[in-house]
Each structure stands twice: as structure tokens, then as C-alpha cells.
Amino acid sequence: MSQSAAAHPASLLFDQVRFVLNETSHPGNVGSAARAIKTMGFGRLVLAAPRAGADVLCDPEAVALASGADDVLANAWVVPDLDTALQGVSWAVALSARSREYGPPNAEPRESAAIAVQHAGQGEAVAFVFGSERTGLSNDDVERCNALVHIPANPMYSSLNLSQAVQLIAYEVRMACLARERGEGSQVAAVAALPPGREGAAHDALATRDDVEGMLAHLERALVDLDFLDPENPKKLMTRLRRLFAKSHLEREEVNILRGIAKHVLERRIRR
Ligand code: SAH
């Protein structure tokens, strides 16, 4: 995981990027999304709990709209939920037509693409997560990601068709991949860029989202045990901690320290 950027040619960058469609209803959108990502050089489509089930991959409308991207459609991963879709991912971006009161920090589409490619350049898997046609992403889904991106469309009519949102983001990520290939630095604002000195340097592996989710569940049990968190009235404590960790680029070692603290808290109770 400590390879330098040069060790990752563009083709490998493209391989690290997942496009995750959560609970998609319309098979046509799945086919169009496959086409959208293939035109931009990507191939990893992940369908979390598609309404039509795994049959969506051979739905005639999906196949028709995938057009020449039937290979991307046929090779899409169909998984039961968003957590499974994000397994092994260290940086995930939620795409939403709506702003949220809580949740991870906001980023612009271009900025999120540049940050994603920074991570991919370190050999890490990244994901862009899109919601369903009718209801979009739930707050829970959004909180599972490290950044929230809104495509700044017409404020009076800002909800794009799902596959068109995928197309736009895939274009931005392609541009960021090509810029990296040319050795150009991307314009990455401070919101969630890798900390200075981290990129390309030898470092401990960044925690994946599964590591962070496991740690949060452990920490939550410890906080309940300490009476710091009231499960009957949790307020926004875990949401705020999620936001904190979403910004932190935690390394695996740091996640282990936090889990160690939680473990000790819970063991003390058993000893008592
Ligand atoms: N009715 C839904 C919108 C669904 S559009 C809602 O109110 O949230 C389907 C998906 O396309 C969204 O979940 C989001 O992932 C993406 N999308 C559409 N328009 C977008 C925009 N302006 N910015 C970011 N993502 C958008």
C-alpha cells in the first residue's frame, strides 16, 4: 500500500474506481450507467440491492441501453447492500441532489474526482455512490461515505437522471486520471485531500471503510457502557463522530488503537 504514484499507471487508476448504484429501480438506468462509465474508461459497476434483483443484468431494457457496454453490465457486481458494495474501499463519495444537515463534508464534483484519484494513486479502492431514482440516498447511506457531492445544477430543477449523474462524475474522474497520468497536480482543496507529505510517501495503510465501520460499532458499545451515549436518546453523537472520522484519513494502526481503547472499556466492565 505504500507504492508511489508512479507505480500506478492510468489503467490501474481506472480499475480502482467503483461506481455504486444503490437500490436502483429502472433497468434502463443500469444499462445507461454501464455505458456511461465505459465511455469514460471505467469498468467496475456495483449494484447494491437493485430492485429487480440480479436479473437486472439480463433485463432487455438494461442490455439495450448498455449498447456496446454489455461487458460492463454482464460483469457488474450485484451485492445485497451498500456496506457490501463498499467493502475494501478507503474513500467513498455520496452523490445527492439534496443538501443534508448532517453528514460528511461537502465537496465539488471536480474536487471529489481529484481526491479520489489521489487515493487510487496510492493503490486504494474508491467509490462514487448514487441513490435510487425515487428517493435518492438515505441519510444513513450518506453517512457511510467520506464526502458528499452535489452537482451544482439548476437550483430550480437540480435532480439529474441517475445515469446522467453517473456520466458527469465519470467524466470528472477521467479528467483527473488523465491529469495524473500527465504528471499534473490536481487542484485539491483542503476539505478532504490527503494530508501534505502523505501522498507518494511510505506510510501505513489507510483504513478501509469496513475497518472504520467495525471500529465505530465497537466504540459505540464502549460509549454506551461508559454511560456517555444513551441508546434511548443517542442525539447525533455517532453521526458527529462519523463526520470526524470521515475527515481524518485514519490509518489502520490508528483504527486499531481506537478499537483497543473500546476493548479495554468493555473488559473493565466484565472485571467489575
Ligand atoms: N428524488 C431523488 C433524486 C434521485 S436522482 C432525491 O430527491 O434525492 C438519482 C440519483 O442521481 C441521486 O440519488 C444522486 O445520486 C444522483 N443525482 C441526481 N442529481 C444530482 C445532483 N444534482 N447532484 C448530485 N447527485 C445527483
- Co-location of 125 and 216 in the same domain: no
Measured from the Cα of 158, ligand 1's closest atom is 22
**CATH code, domain with 213:** 1.10.8.590
pLDDT tens for 3-45 read 344 444 557 899 999 999 999 999 999 999 999 999 999 999 9
Q: Give the pLDDT of residue 185.
A: 64
Residue 3 maps to a domain = no
- Co-location of 223 and 152 in the same domain: no
Residue with the bigger pLDDT between 232 and 209: it is 232
Which domain, by its residues, includes 109?
10-181
Best mutation site among 106, 150, 159, 163 for ligand 1 pocket (most ligand atoms within 8 Å of CB): 159
| Percent helix / strand / coil, the chain, rounded to 5 | 50, 15, 40
Q: Give the pLDDT of residue 3.
A: 39
pLDDT tens for 82-110 read 999 999 999 999 999 998 888 899 999 99
* Average pLDDT of every residue of the chain: 89
Q: Give the pLDDT of residue 5.
A: 40
First to last CA, the chain: 41
- Co-location of 165 and 247 in the same domain: no
Residue 246 maps to a domain = yes
Q: Is 56 helix (H, G, I), strand (E, B) or coil?
A: helix
Q: How far is the CA of 170 from the centre of ligand 1 (A)?
A: 15
What total number of domains does the chain contain?
Answer: 2
pLDDT tens for 109-155 read 999 999 999 999 989 999 999 999 999 999 999 999 999 999 999 99
Q: What is the pLDDT averaged over residues 227-234?
A: 90
Residue 197 maps to a domain = no
Is any atom of ligand 1 closer than 6 Å to the C-beta of 266?
Answer: no
- Residue 196's contacts (CB-CB under 8 Å, 6 or more residues apart) are none
Residue 187 maps to a domain = no
Confidence class of residue 71 from pLDDT cuts 50, 70 and 90?
very high
Is any atom of ligand 1 closer than 6 Å to the C-beta of 150?
Answer: yes
How far apart, in Å, are the Cα atoms of 13 and each of 40, 121, 177, 211?
Answer: 12, 6, 7, 22
Confidence class of residue 65 from pLDDT cuts 50, 70 and 90?
very high
Contact predicate 79/21, CB 8 Å: no
- Co-location of 229 and 171 in the same domain: no
- Co-location of 35 and 142 in the same domain: yes
- Co-location of 160 and 263 in the same domain: no
pTM here?
A: 0.83
> Considering only 157-171, 218-232, 239-253, which range has the smallest mean pLDDT?
239-253
pLDDT tens for 43-64 read 999 999 999 999 999 999 999 9
Residue 192 maps to a domain = no
- Co-location of 233 and 161 in the same domain: no
Q: How far apart are CA 52 and CA 39, in angstroms?
A: 25
- Co-location of 163 and 248 in the same domain: no
Q: How far apart are CA 219 and CA 200, in angstroms?
A: 31
- Co-location of 19 and 106 in the same domain: yes
- Co-location of 169 and 223 in the same domain: no
- The last residue of one of the domains, among 164, 181, 198, is 181
How far apart, in Å, are the Cα atoms of 167 and each of 123, 173, 192?
Answer: 24, 10, 23
- Co-location of 95 and 214 in the same domain: no
Residue with the bigger pLDDT between 228 and 19: it is 19
pLDDT tens for 160-198 read 999 999 999 999 999 999 999 888 765 554 445 565 555
CA angle 187, 110, 21 (to 5 degrees): 145
**CATH code, domain with 107:** 3.40.1280.10
- The last residue of one of the domains, among 116, 146, 181, is 181
Residue 264 maps to a domain = yes
- Co-location of 34 and 154 in the same domain: yes
Measured from the Cα of 130, ligand 1's closest atom is 15
Residue 107 maps to a domain = yes
Residue 195 maps to a domain = no
